[in-house]
Amino acid sequence: MPTLIGSPTRIEAAGNKPKLIDEYIGRVNSRQEMISIAHMRSPAGWVEPGQTPEFEEFTIVLKGLLRVAYAGGHLDVHAGQAVIAHAGEWVQYSTPTDEGAEYIAVCVPAFSPTLVHRDDASEPES
């Protein structure tokens, strides 16, 4: 029988401003360790610490612009576009435009604070 996920769990976000993370599937809401799927809403000017995660992160931007900094540069991911952040590579997410961003993030294996390996600093490196 399929499993209905009746509602997400709100997860506390890292970063300089409040960001909404609603996890539908993952370690917290559905006890899944293989994958996590979350709906993210980041305000204008939000930036989180850089990270070198042990998981792949697949992100689809629904509204606004998500900036993904990486060693050597950054990508601006607009509504209707997607980006893949690869395990073991340093990245930093931010929403530098006035509209912020809304996006879906899928992590394989599921997101975990012990697997994300966040930097101490919260300012973008590029």
* pLDDT digits 0-9 by tens, 22-67: 999 999 999 999 999 999 999 999 999 999 999 999 999 999 999 9
Average predicted confidence (pLDDT) for the chain: 95
Give the integer Cα–Cα distance in Å for 32 and 38: 12
CA 110 to chain centre: 12
DSSP state at residue 29: T
Helices (H) and strands (E) in the chain, counts: 1, 9
Given a cut of 80, is residue 124 above it in pLDDT? no
Q: What is the residue extent of each domain of the chain?
A: 11-116
Give the integer Cα–Cα distance in Å for 39 and 41: 7
pLDDT tier for residue 123 given thresholds of 50, 70 and 90: very low
Q: Which long-range contacts (CB under 8 A, 24 or more apart) does 120-125 make?
A: 120/49, 121/49, 121/50, 122/15, 122/16, 122/47, 122/48, 122/49, 123/47, 124/47, 124/50, 124/67, 124/69, 124/74, 124/92, 124/94, 125/50, 125/69, 125/92
* Domain 11-116 bears CATH identifier 2.60.120.10: yes
pTM of the model: 0.92
CB atoms closer than 10 angstroms to residue 79: 15
